[in-house]
A and B are shown apart, each in its own frame.
Chain A
Amino acid sequence: MINKVRPHLSQNELLVFERSSPGKKAYQLPELDVPAVDAAEALGAANVRAEIEGFPEISEVEAIRHFTRLSTWNYAIDYGMYPLGSCTMKYNPRINEVVARTEALAWAHPYQPAALAQGSMAVMAQLEAALAEITGMDAVTLQPAAGAHGELTGILLIRALLEKRGNPRKKILIPDSAHGTNPATAAIAGYAVQNIPSSATGVLDVSALAQIVDKDVAALMVTNPNTLGVFEENIIQAAEILHKKGAMLYMDGANMNALVGIARPGDFGVDVMHLNLHKTFSTPHGGGGPGAGPVAVKKVLEPFLPAPRLKRTGKKWAWDYNRKRSIGRVKAYYGNFGVLVRALAYILAHGGPGLRNATVDAVLNAVYIRKRLEAYYDLPYSQANMHEVVFSDHRQAKLGVHTGDIAKRLIDYGFHPYTVSFPLIVHGALMIEPTETEGKHEIDQFIEAMISIAQEIETDPQLVKTAPHGTRTSRVDEVTAARKPVLRWKPA
């Protein structure tokens, strides 16, 4: 029987369970240097399990082929441009992977005595200092595991400060262009969400804001530049309005790649913000994570930061657990240390001037794409954009082709799609973020592909609507997946 029936360079691959056969092994343990123990005796017979039904049993060669073959079914930054808006898919320097595996860093146990963890703590201290300088804020916690986790930390900090001032207040204002994690976070922090409409130009409407902010408002959560890639030109006034009413300004720093070295949130009125080290600071996304979401704050919020905090005593680093006003822990131990190492390696590689140059190139790439695609795709907001540009499928939708279809057709041209259907304020959004690590050649090819697709839609919309055509897997039926969920393998 011929197994290889799908267009791909390697043999087809089953699930590991389907490849298993009893008795196969990919491991070998050393001989025990102590007497074996009878499990039933040591644990009580009732506590000992039967064999793990269905668990894999394959050989080492089969294991490496299994995962290698599967890997080739993925697109990746290493293959080409990955212009997912809001996600900042930049090159992941390999040196970062090497240094994160430095033995005494990678094998440091979180509870080993501080005297034996001085190097790890120094890495964290240096990263905290660098991020404080980059954001213009006074203090940084590295504990949160990702952006959304940082948001929660930040909103809890605001709540703690307001509570100390006598009233935690009731609601958080969130622009309708915001990422879904913002409202979800506010709800977990115990706040009601009030959505505020963006102005006709897609930015904060400060006069409307002035009307809305009252004694019930704890904070405004704003992304800057916002999810259209547009700098919130009235951010300073917005901060003043909030501060006058005793409310705080939270900034979602997912888009910091537009600002590093150019503008600092701490200088334009932000009280607390998170960073996504897995976006701006090049740590790899790894198919969905891990990330790290450090939170930077102004001095007033510093006493509330999660415990423990790094502290310098004499010539030594120590963990300070004695933080009476802390919001508590948001995570066990100290943060996603391995991710922090990678981010610091990135900052060291660039240095101050290099970081700024990266920002300039990131913005230049996005502005260039906008200039060259404006004639082909509808640009719903015409403000100057920064690191990303958002088009809509307005013109193409008239021919029955939507942003999701255009995205799928891009795959046939060798590119990963842009972000589809976000932000929600743009109907049929195409959100394109090239990042600074794309060269002119790659970007020109991307632009040519987008133009070619626009033309295909005029002549052969069906071709685009059924894309991708060149992939091993064609369009996946998401409706059936949701109607009849199959979430695990079971033996036939």
Chain B
Amino acid sequence: MYPENFRYTKEHEWVAAVGDAGTIGITDHAQQELGDIVYVDLPKAGTHIEQGKSLGSVESVKAVSDVYSPVSGEVTEINQTLAEKPEILNSDPHGAAWLVKIKLSAPAELAGLMSAAEYEAYIGAEK
């Protein structure tokens, strides 16, 4: 379920990094909690984001959820598909529905995030 090569946050975001090139998204657990996602608000490419700060938000019909960046860095690309098809966040949160690509400014931050196993244990306990 939760890819081994991702790192996870307590706020239910994931980041996949190769060197300083990262991809950020929200977890399957997060999309389930939100229900049908209707809108995604993302920053512009070029924006500098700090770890733990809001990088955008995800909306269902009756809720808004901030997305907190798992790592610091500069946004290099945003997922344009989400504007037209927010529903893919429900169907493929760990794949096609990534939110932003980011150039990590402090890759060491990754070490402080959870592994897939740790995250699964965490959401298990949260329930």
Could you tell me the distance in whole angstroms from the C-beta of A11 to the nearest C-beta in chain B? 32
Chain B hits for A482, CB < 8 A = 38-39, 59, 61
Q: What string of 1s and 0s marks CB contacts (under 8 Å) between B78-115 and chain A?
A: 00000000110000000000000000000000000000
Could you tell me the distance in whole angstroms from the C-beta of A88 to the nearest C-beta in chain B? 23
Could you tell me the distance in whole angstroms from the C-beta of B22 to the nearest C-beta in chain A? 28
Chain B hits for A371, CB < 8 A = none
Q: Is B50 an interface residue (CB 8 A)?
A: no
Q: Is B36 an interface residue (CB 8 A)?
A: yes
Could you tell me the distance in whole angstroms from the C-beta of A193 to the nearest C-beta in chain B? 15
Q: Is A475 an interface residue (CB 8 A)?
A: no
Could you tell me the distance in whole angstroms from the C-beta of A376 to the nearest C-beta in chain B? 26
Interface of B is mostly: loop
Could you tell me the distance in whole angstroms from the C-beta of A401 to the nearest C-beta in chain B? 16
Chain A hits for B87, CB < 8 A = 483
Q: Which residues of A, 468-492, contact B by the 8 Å Cβ criterion?
A: 478-479, 482-483
Could you tell me the distance in whole angstroms from the C-beta of B68 to the nearest C-beta in chain A? 18
Q: Which residues of A, 434-492, contact B by the 8 Å Cβ criterion?
A: 478-479, 482-483
Q: What string of 1s and 0s marks CB contacts (under 8 Å) between B57-76 and chain A?
A: 00101100000000000000
Q: What string of 1s and 0s marks CB contacts (under 8 Å) between A410-448 and chain B?
A: 000000000001000000000000000000000000000
Could you tell me the distance in whole angstroms from the C-beta of A397 to the nearest C-beta in chain B? 14
Q: Which residues of B, 2-22, contact A by the 8 Å Cβ criterion?
A: none
Chain B hits for A483, CB < 8 A = 38-39, 86-87
Chain A hits for B38, CB < 8 A = 479, 482-483
Could you tell me the distance in whole angstroms from the C-beta of B80 to the nearest C-beta in chain A? 16
Given the complex of chains A and B, what is the CA–CA distance between A446 and B38 in angstroms? 35
Could you tell me the distance in whole angstroms from the C-beta of B26 to the nearest C-beta in chain A? 17
Given the complex of chains A and B, what is the CA–CA distance between A479 and B86 in angstroms? 11
Given the complex of chains A and B, what is the CA–CA distance between A478 and B36 in angstroms? 10
Q: What string of 1s and 0s marks CB contacts (under 8 Å) between A305-334 and chain B?
A: 000000000000000000000000000000
Given the complex of chains A and B, what is the CA–CA distance between A190 and B38 in angstroms? 30
Could you tell me the distance in whole angstroms from the C-beta of A421 to the nearest C-beta in chain B? 8
Given the complex of chains A and B, what is the CA–CA distance between A483 and B61 in angstroms? 9
Could you tell me the distance in whole angstroms from the C-beta of B125 to the nearest C-beta in chain A? 18
Given the complex of chains A and B, what is the CA–CA distance between A483 and B39 in angstroms? 7
Q: What string of 1s and 0s marks CB contacts (under 8 Å) between A202-238 and chain B?
A: 0000000000000000000000000000000000000
Chain A hits for B61, CB < 8 A = 478-479, 482
CB-CB nearest in chain A for B62: A421
Q: Which residues of A, 282-306, contact B by the 8 Å Cβ criterion?
A: none
Could you tell me the distance in whole angstroms from the C-beta of A358 to the nearest C-beta in chain B? 34
Given the complex of chains A and B, what is the CA–CA distance between A482 and B34 in angstroms? 14
Chain A hits for B36, CB < 8 A = 479
Could you tell me the distance in whole angstroms from the C-beta of A175 to the nearest C-beta in chain B? 20
Could you tell me the distance in whole angstroms from the C-beta of B116 to the nearest C-beta in chain A? 29
Given the complex of chains A and B, what is the CA–CA distance between A478 and B61 in angstroms? 7
Could you tell me the distance in whole angstroms from the C-beta of A431 to the nearest C-beta in chain B? 15
Could you tell me the distance in whole angstroms from the C-beta of A133 to the nearest C-beta in chain B? 40
Could you tell me the distance in whole angstroms from the C-beta of A486 to the nearest C-beta in chain B? 14
Could you tell me the distance in whole angstroms from the C-beta of A405 to the nearest C-beta in chain B? 14
Chain B hits for A478, CB < 8 A = 61
Chain A hits for B62, CB < 8 A = 421
Q: Can you name 13 A-B pairs with beta carbons within 8 Å? A: A421-B62, A478-B61, A479-B36, A479-B38, A479-B61, A482-B38, A482-B39, A482-B59, A482-B61, A483-B38, A483-B39, A483-B86, A483-B87
- Given A482-B39, A483-B86, A483-B87, 9 additional A-B pairs, CB 8 A: A421-B62, A478-B61, A479-B36, A479-B38, A482-B38, A482-B59, A482-B61, A483-B38, A483-B39
- Closest 5 A/B residue pairs (Cβ): A482-B38, A479-B36, A483-B38, A478-B61, A482-B61
